[in-house]
Amino acid sequence: MHIVGSVKLVPYLAVLGRHASASVTSFSRRHNTVAFSATTRNHVSPFSTVRAIDGRKSKCTRTTTTTTTLRSTPVTEEFNNKIIEMQDAGIPVLGCDASEVSSFSAGLWEILGQVSAVDDEQVLCLVMEKIPMPALKAFVDDFFVLKTQIRLIEHLPELSRITVSLLDNGAGPALIVEAAARTADEIAAYRKAVGSEATTDRATAEGALRSFVSRVVVGAEACPYARSPDLAAVGLEAKGVSPGPVAYRFSPTSDACVAVAAFWQSCIELLSAPPEEISTTLLSLPNVDGGDHARFAAVVEVISRYLCLYRGDGIFGLVHFHPEYDRGSIYPLDKPLYGHLPPMGWLRPMMRKCGSSKAADTLTDEELALSNYQRRAPHTMINILRVSHLDAATGGKSIVDLDIGGGVIEKASGINLYSKNAIRLAAIGKANLEAGLGAEVAMQN
């Protein structure tokens, strides 16, 4: 993956918050070795607010977010004594210099990914003095809830063995990361997944993705503001948005933790670069789902979830893609879900709301299901968009009351675009859509 910035992890010395001077951290426990060090660029717009760190769950609704610097957590003598106890017990203790939600998330998920890569039982302590306790607690609480959600965790075995907790129930700004040892069957499954990474070629994956963008996003006009695979936000100049380059980013990882870290690295890059340098990012994750649509849905839900946890949905919009994308099998079936198409059952009401009653009455369910092809890229991919560009495109007032039948009124957005895309894809036909996608998938083999 292309990395422009990250957090720096250094050996932590329990001397009232002073860090060791080393710029590279390595720690060992049994057969475990972790090293992670990079320089953080200055972020143009790090997102963090009081609302973002108060521990409340986000519903992934768009909000206006004021960017500020997170307040650091004071380090006490009691906390330092706890750290010394851990060091004396041989538990690795790392200090992390993250000071914003983006760098905090990138660093934490990178560590989780490196822990996940080791089969043995592990434990480590991660000190984050610049991150307030409510933000750390929000992550710990939500991660605990995630582990109880069987519909997700059964598709995320690398997360099922990891626990994250606050040091001594919140004695100070530190997280305890623990991982159970893998069983023999789990080791075999993990090694099989990792084996796919070495055979994945970035250039061919990007070529296939560019073909999809040309064919569907531009050619079928799935996005009215894309004119080529390389240029986005075209036609918004009157609203103060200039066209800018599309960034193609890639990670061969098969590990969900590393995929989430790759996502946050892409967010850091977008935050660091002006729109004239990067308008939007297409992050390719061709191996993360292992060909399993349910795992794809679980991985991207985790990504969306932890963006929304800190109100990052007020900064970025996400669009999820998969070669077998099927909105009819993604939970919840009858409610909107961040990053996904609207429920299939909403398409006819949307068309009628937009004045396309004839199409709503005549198109079959099978024809409407072809709407899925606007999200059927040749591999798993996430489009990370700037909300400022989305607001410019919609005027920030695209949410309407939609009568979905039975006296039920739902809030819906983007109904004009979704309606036009469904009608257009139905006209193209299943045979043509399947042939185009099949050719792009074959490009990668």
Enumerate the domain spans of the chain: 9-195, 197-443
Q: How far apart are CA 304 and CA 317, in angstroms?
A: 9
pLDDT of the residue at 68: 35
Three-state DSSP class for 117?
A: coil
Out of 207-211, 288-292, 307-311, 396-400, which region has the weakest mean confidence (pLDDT)?
Answer: 396-400
Q: How far apart are CA 247 and CA 214, in angstroms?
A: 15
- Show the CA angle centred on residue 299, arms to residues 297 and 303, nearest 5°: 115
pLDDT of the residue at 19: 40
Query: Which ranges of 273-346 would DSSP assign to H, the alpha helix?
Result: 293-309
Identify residue 8 by its one-letter amino acid code. Answer: K
Burial of 23 (0-12, 13-18, 19+ CB in 10 A): exposed
Q: Is the per-residue pLDDT at 37 higher than 70?
A: no
Q: How far is CA 162 from CA 78, 109, 372, in A?
A: 27, 12, 34
pTM summary value:
0.87
pLDDT of the residue at 293: 98
Alpha-carbon torsion, ordered 35, 40, 43, 49, to 10 deg: 50
Out of 4-13, 344-353, 386-395, 427-436, which region has the weakest mean confidence (pLDDT)?
Answer: 4-13
Three-state DSSP class for 121?
A: coil
The reply to whether omega before 229 is within 30° of 0 (cis) is no
- The per-residue pLDDT of the chain, averaged, comes to 86
Which two tokens mark 363? 């198109």
**Does residue 364 contact residue 261 with C-beta atoms inside 8 Å?**
no
Mind listing the pLDDT tens digit for each residue in 136-194? 999 999 999 999 999 999 999 999 999 999 999 998 999 999 999 999 999 999 999 99
**Does residue 249 contact residue 2 with C-beta atoms inside 8 Å?**
yes
Q: Considering only CA atoms, which of 226, 217, 219 is closest in space to residue 389? A: 226
Q: Give the pLDDT band (50/70/90) at residue 9.
A: low
pLDDT of the residue at 21: 31
Q: Give the pLDDT band (50/70/90) at residue 11.
A: low
Non-local CB neighbours of 407 within 8 Å, separated by 6+ positions: none
Out of 2-16, 32-46, 168-182, 312-326, which region has the weakest mean confidence (pLDDT)?
Answer: 32-46
Q: Considering only CA atoms, which of 5, 100, 96 is closest in space to residue 52? A: 100
Mind listing the pLDDT tens digit for each residue in 92-141? 999 888 989 999 999 999 999 999 999 999 999 999 999 999 999 999 99
* Inter-helix orientation angle 256-272/101-116, to 10°: 150
Phi, psi (degrees; rounded to nearest 5) at 34: -130, 130
